[in-house]
Structure 1
Amino acid sequence: MLHKRIYSILLVLFICCANSFAQTKSSIQHETAVNTQKATRLMRAGNYEKSLILCRKALDNAISLKDDNLIALAYNTIAANFDELAEYEKALFYYKKAIIYANKTNNNLLKNWINNNLGNIYCFDKKEYNKGIYHYKKSLKYSTIIADSSEIVFTKLNIVWAYFDINKFDLGLPYLNYINKYHKKHGTETTIVALNMLNGVYQSHLNNNKKAEFYFEKAIDLGKKGNEKSDLSHSHQEYAKFLFKTKQYKKAYENLTAYNEISDQLNDQEKLKKLNVAGINLEIDEYKREIDDIKTKYKTNHQILIEKQSKNKLISIVIISILLLVIIFSYFYYQNKQLKQNNKLKDFESKIQESIITASVNGQEMERKKIASFLHDNISALLSSAALHLTIFSSKNDNDSVEITKTKAILIQTHYKIRDLSHQLLPSLLARFGLFYALNDLCEMSSNSTIHFEYSSNVSSETRYNEDYEMKMYFIISELLNNITKHSKATNSILSLKEIDSQLHIIVKDNGVGFETKQYKTIEGFGLNQIKARINTMNGKFEIISKPKQGTTIKIIAPIEYKS
């Protein structure tokens, strides 16, 4: 029933297309439309040879016109011929070609029926139900767009049949309910047999035996009165299955016999059709060769077009890739430039900070020097002078009163304290004998019962450097030793000095608790970060090596500033 339905619909399609093409001024288009219309009639009459030859001419003209609608129509007619000849693989091939070109058009009627025919091939010949149902649903979409109610009913009937064939009754039921509701208004006599048969199948699935039997017998009765032998055959077959299920074996056998007889008749008709076709095999072979020539010619032109498109596509891809690369490189260049600027800014900020620290420490050292000099040269001298005058006054006047004696003692004590303070601000050993005497003395003075500072140097103790340089290095090392005493909990520390290639190499090492070098923070006052900043401003190097419970080693390399 489904295959037979194709031909009447195709005729309507071709007549509609022919009417629209008749309005055009192109004689080639008119000839193509006429040939397609004649080919449809010949196919309905069973003259497949002439139908295929006319289709070949129509396809040749359609390809030359580059008319997607005409190409789709020609391929569809060719496929329908092979479908009628039971050459289902060839029919499927040409239906696929037809749908490719139909999808490029707005001819929803044509797309509807090509998809329906593809559904028939997949479901009823190849038994690939998923593909078949997919095309049926595509057909339903287009029949809905063109608002053809009878086509909607017909397509939904096919969907129900396909779902029921694979026992997916729940999926097919909504479509069956729709057909039962609207078939009387929009259905046709050619679908009534199939509808009753499918209702019988569904009621059998529900085990509603009375309703199932009613629908099956109604389908068979209608089938005997009509011309749809295929649907009648299926009705007998499904009824026989139901009867076997309900253990009505005699009646089941009768329906199975009827099914076999009708199937044999249909097979005989199919064989007769193939025998009639056998006499024209040579013509069909020639037709096939001509079709292949057309396909080859079309493929060549199509291949050239594809190559051009590929070339243009490749050029576009290259241009887009270049633009993307330019954008990416520009982005990274900008980011790199920004990073460099940020690094420069950070370096600049770091240098400013180091300069501030150095200026601050230099200022402190200058103030130390001034205060020490002022205390030693002025205040201490004045106190000594005052004590001397009191001594002379007492000796001349023979006056050794308690007040004068106490005043002299206070002046002498103040003189010593000011001298000690002066030496703390600026050690006298540093000023008189130089850096190495002062550092050796510093190690001895800093050692006690808890910690011992060991001094080591390959430089002569008489070596003198620039006064400011010696002062800087003395206070840096003094601060390091002070930190060891306060924080390291060490029992032993070594100060080592070496002069190598006009650079002073200083190592201060202890066996204390150590710390994580990444986490050390600035200590209030003259801390490690400040020491590092000072060494950096002197173009030197500062390195800390330390781990928890493994002691600490600090290495300093500072260019020497010699005495001018």
Structure 2
Amino acid sequence: MRAENYEKSLILSRHTLRKAISLKDDNLIALSYNNIAANFDQLAESEKALFYYKKAIIYANKTNNYHLKNWISNNLGNIYCFDKREYSKGIYYYKKSLEYSIKIADSSEIAFTKLNITWAYFDIGKFNLGLPYLNYINKHYKKYEDESIIVALNMLNGMYHAHLNNTKRATFYFEKAIKLGKNGNEKSDLSFSHQEYSKFLFKIKNYKKAYENLHAYNQITDELNTEEKLKKLNIAGINLEIDEYKREIDDIKTKYKSDQQILLEKQSKNKLISIVIISILLLIIVFSYFHFQNKQLKQTNKLKNIESKIQENIITASINGQEMERKKIASFLHDNISALLSSAALHLTIFSTKNNNDSVEITKTKAILIQTHYKIRDLSHQLLPSLLARFGLFYALNDLCEMNSNSNIFFEYSSDVSAETRYNEDYEMKMYFIISELLNNIIKHSQASIAKINLKEINSELHILVEDNGVGFEIKQYPTIEGFGLNQIKARINTMEGKFTVISKPKQGTTIKIIAPIEYKAKPAV
């Protein structure tokens, strides 16, 4: 994880967790959950990080390991304060972390935690509550050699003197924090220093310098938050493909009608001849009749088969378009709307600081903008799971099973394929959403307590087995419904030249087997 190889770190942490659970070692279980959460924290997946940190603290509280309790509590405080902006919860966990730091007499951890508590109180304008913690660090800071503590300490002193309108002292501390931050490796501390200094400069109407620091803050923040952007997708090709299918079926119907008309004319001629030579051509008329019926039946069946195939292709093209649109919308929400909301919140903060206006309406507006920003970010992750894009199909499915498991139903995931295996990006997305829909069907309709998902790779084919011990159903009676149901899944597998089999009986559970040719990831050109 420290080497930023999060994929390998997550895989190893999962293995560690399984072994820790088998050993029933609460200390190792808590540590494993904390490591998984920390990886998600580094990947900016705050919801998943919070989920696993909460699991970690449950097991840590069963032990006497105050070092671990301190570590996890501090991480929870960071999530709530920095990502959720739920300061009351964040301060609660910071204070729990402080208790454990005092118990283990770790002066460095005590300093870090008191810095966090000071920042949390100062960020919500409760300077009187944060001041005792700041005074403690100012008194003892000389014994700390950690550069991040010194940078943060100067920034917090600058914030406090800015609150007191002490321009000289505030300027001294802010500029010292920025100077130390530039010489160090903690870009986040330097970013916060520029941000808080810009707020103070706006307050004292030094607008030029304020904008210089605001620009520095934005530049550093952009560097910290740079992520690989999703490729822009265009579904125009899919729409053209659907139109082509429609034209194809219209041409086939037209040709069929023409053939039918020709045959009717032949039949009419045969009838006229039969009137003249009934005895001779009776057999010919009968033969012609049956020949016509047979040909018409074959053409009808052929047309039905073609229409069925075209319908399957249309369904697949439509679903491909939906998935491409998911990626496009997720990228747009994450890279554009979310950034605009963050910028709007920042400028509103600067405006209120500049005009000494802390009205209830402005405070509520800032809270709404921040809340909307996090909701849009969560929505973009729902539209396109970041684990799927970053780590691949098998890791995303493992996580999907674990996240959907609860006290009512347990999803058991197994695979003979290495979790590091990657296929073609579109192929991984198709298989992920197909399996996700099958799991949703189990949750909604099966009333099962256990479901098993197994994946194997055999002869360049992916074999997927999904079983549950639910109520089952009569296969002949399941309806064709709008949306991405069993019939739509079957149609899509057929267009991939795969196989889709459903085995189910009432009160005997359901088994679904899928065999799909693998589309491997293209090798880069040499």
TM-score, structure 2 as length reference:
0.46
TM-score, structure 1 as length reference:
0.43
Q: State which structure, 1 or 2, has the greater radius of gyration over its C-alpha atoms.
A: 1
